[in-house]
Chain A
């Protein structure tokens, strides 16, 4: 599998996908170049680049996928294949604030269920849903490595630990 990696040649997309590839600012392009420079094989940069596209476009949308395929000399299907494997790569829109409540054992026995319920009530959505204004998505996720400070959630990339319903109110209230 890995021996064929170095033989990948630039290729054009075999079919017209009906979308234009996304474009990015020179600054973002430079950031992408810095990631590519880390690896002897371009494809290795696929995950860091997906996070950049996701940050810039809200989620990994078809123009973003086409951009990555072109940039990495891969097929669009190669990008989808990888994107659909990883739980942090969003292939559909998520809210501006993605609340990810850890539901695994250490959090569960320290009251994760109550935290999810509280968020659910406060936002009027169930886990897996996004508020109508597109601001909040609520998810239940597996262990985030905060077991000693349970219960916890991650909002986008920020950890919030030792949660109580009052603390949740405070955190959600502080988000613009």
Chain B
């Protein structure tokens, strides 16, 4: 195997030099391969630099959107390295393939690279130790590194990292397989509360988000976009707009061809000296639009279309064990339910925004993006540039939830900046944000179970219909395997006859991924239906749920009756479906919530469990009546996510997930009429406010040294069904359509 040996003097001593430029002894082919799919731990210089002053710079190559990556990733690398956290500077990476995968999506910042991050820190530690051992002429194995220095305990000598930097720079990087991680007990961050690195900047207003970037001579643009996806400008007159003081230009942007993918929606960009002038200029536009193919989309009618699709039959069978049709035909009792969930919007607190400068055949953008490499590729493609001519700087994200993975807004800024020949900030308003989202899919699901005379469940038949995310990107007309594995094909069921069938559904707007993605509506339907089965069987909902999951075991593909599972990109051998972990989080949540005592305490509780992104989460929700309607007064959430890096951020993610999920389940709904979004601001797209949030949200993480699972998303899916099941316990009314505010009063 060819090894790339890099001269590390420059990277360890200096900032801002690229590794590829310093390569010696590497063939061009090896370099190209390394650039395409780098073995990150063999290029620790990309992530860690030690200055002679002792200051250590550590790169965070994932985007910070509240999940705490900037407080977790550098801390983990520093811990392996043995660095003093107070002497570490965190550097936010631009979009560049040398950092490996930077897509901050799929809850994978830790689960996808936990060991890699540790090996990066360990590689630099080993090089510093090797430099010290060489200087002292002692065996490497007799030296240790901690507290920002290398020590030789036998002779009581030590050398600070900074004093070793230039010598370490001349040594080879250890091969990946030779890198030795610290024993877990040596990690000082393990189980500790780590500092929130951006906390002080946030609370003083100094933190820089997308809209806070300022360039000399920067103009501001606000864009009027076609109300219907796929629509275009029919005619316009910019005279009144151009008469608004401060407005400079109106730039027409082309409407995209199908599939819409990440392309901007087109429209008219009003470019002005400042935000207010741009907003006023847009309001003064005289424009009419062509509607295009989606101009008849009506989400209320579409609900019926999805129901019809469930009845008309499946596009294919994705899961089969036994003979569900025969078992249902001979069942003593059938339980049937159809569930509906609406479109949702991301509604990040920071509306979309991007700053771009196009100069001298190069483009530079500053933006709150979850996927800087994707943004780089899209901007390059839209401007006809090579990716090397595009620089993407990542600011803090004022929320992401998947919306800021889609770079349409960044491409807009690049196009407008090029058109006007000046740096431009494209600012989305809240109305733009809600009306031009990549919406969470709307879904319909029909579940049928057969019970025998003794009440045992003999058959399970699940049909799902929802427009796929792939409808936006490939024109797909049925759910994908990746979506179906999110709570449908990967669901453990101790039921002998199982049939799962996705049904046809055509996308009529842009469908995208929103935190937890298809898990949210699948878990709502499945965990609500299992609760319905508990009542049909006369069993306690927790006992029934444990019974449906079956005994502790690793569930095989054969048992599931599926050919394969994407399993969030991980092999089932490394991350099996383990019902023992479902059971343990359920029992712990039930214990914390006083599930068995709920009758005596007069509490209406609902419970649910769901595995997603390789993490197991159980939720219990308590509801009560009030003069103003239903109130959620307390919630418990327990996660088994394997190894945890930053337990405090994990708990806060789980608490946040409860609020996010409760808000959607109680109030969240995007409706569409004549192809356009009806809701326009937080007035009609309602999200939870402080008074609607439980007084206490108890979050607990199972202690584990297992392989890490995701955290940002897995907390969401079990919450809505736990809430719906609690509402049933309180009122006897079964929630089969979200949001709950459609049918019940919500305080």
Whether chain B is bound by chain A comes out as no
Q: B residues near A, CB below 8 A?
A: none
Q: A residues near B, CB below 8 A?
A: none
